[in-house]
Amino acid sequence: MRRTIIYIFMTLPVLLLAQTKDKIKSEYAGYSYELSVESGFGSYWMPDLKNLQDAIITNSEIPILKTTSFPSYFNYSIKYGVFKNNGYAGISGGLMSTGARSSVSDYSGYYATDINCVALHIGYYSRKALANFQLFKLPAEIGYILNGSLLYSFVTLKDNLILYGTDALIDDSYTFNSMGIYTEPVFYATYMFSKYIGIELNAGGALSLSLPLYYKDSRNVVTIYDKNRFANWSGYRLSIGLISRF
């Protein structure tokens, strides 16, 4: 009797997993492609560029103050995949942005120095479902998404000075670039409003690794305040969007 009970407890998870896989496969039956478009919110670590902002403030001849420093901000992504191996796999891409500003203003004028950051990533993703179920009589699904992408960053340093009542004006900007790699593993939940379209929620994190920034015109790596500078887009990610399967 004891052996029978042990056998049941050992085999039950295997049977449940097999049934779940069969159910996932049956839920996917009839679909060959998927397309999702999402908008989200994320944090961006940027330790090296935060250090650069501090260096700019310290070395400025004008007593500027830190106004913003790489806050969490919106991002956008798109995925297009084909059904294979009880999941979907294909290409993914996205856009992210954040920045920093240090400034001062009074009756005589206004001065601001900005660090504006934008990044594009494009690569390969794979989606795997962990469970399918019915919610309010409509199909729902939870699982995970893994991706690996190439990352291209644009970092623009901009100085802007205006003196009221005069023609004195400074409006200088320099753009730097860097290449890197990017991954954004997330858990997802989908809820299908109809057979072909639904809503998708994602939550997870991102990791990035980039080469030093180089000046776009000369293609040479540059030192800014005696250091090579790096853009680091790592942080948490939350997003919502529409998904279509057909």
Q: Is 16 within a domain?
A: no
- Give Cβ neighbours of residue 100 (< 8 Å, ≥ 6 apart): 49, 50, 53, 66, 68, 69, 70, 114, 115
Considering its fold, how many domains does the chain have in total? Answer: 1
Choice among 17-26, 91-100, 106-115 with the minimum mean pLDDT: 17-26
Q: Is 17 within a domain?
A: no
Q: What is the pLDDT of residue 121?
A: 98
pLDDT at 185 over 90: yes
pLDDT at 162 over 70: yes
Strand-strand pairing, 169-183 and 214-215: antiparallel
Q: Is 77 within a domain?
A: yes
16 backbone dihedrals φ, ψ, rounded to 5°: -65, -40
Q: Is 186 within a domain?
A: yes
Q: What is the pLDDT of residue 5?
A: 33
Q: Is 25 within a domain?
A: no
Distance CA(228)–CA(50), nearest Å, equals 13
The pLDDT tens digits for 139-155 are 999 999 999 999 999 99
Q: What is the pLDDT of residue 17?
A: 40
Structure tokens at 77: 């992504």
Q: What is the pLDDT of residue 30?
A: 61
Q: Is 21 within a domain?
A: no
Q: Is 207 within a domain?
A: yes
The percent of residues above 70 in pLDDT, for the chain, comes to 86
Whole-angstrom distance between the N-terminal and C-terminal Cα of the chain? Answer: 51
Q: Which of 42, 90, 33 is nearest to 245 (CA)?
A: 33
Confidence of residue 56 (pLDDT cuts 50, 70, 90): very high
CATH label of the domain that carries residue 92: 2.40.160
Q: What is the pLDDT of residue 13?
A: 38
Cα distances from 233 to residues 75, 93, 146, 154, in angstroms, run 11, 15, 17, 12
Q: Is 13 within a domain?
A: no
**pTM for the predicted model, two decimal places:** 0.84
Q: What is the pLDDT of residue 166?
A: 80
Hey, what amino acid is at 209?
Answer: L
Give the domain extent around 152: 31-245
Q: Which of 78, 16, 72, 28 is nearest to 202 (CA)?
A: 78
pLDDT at 4 over 50: no
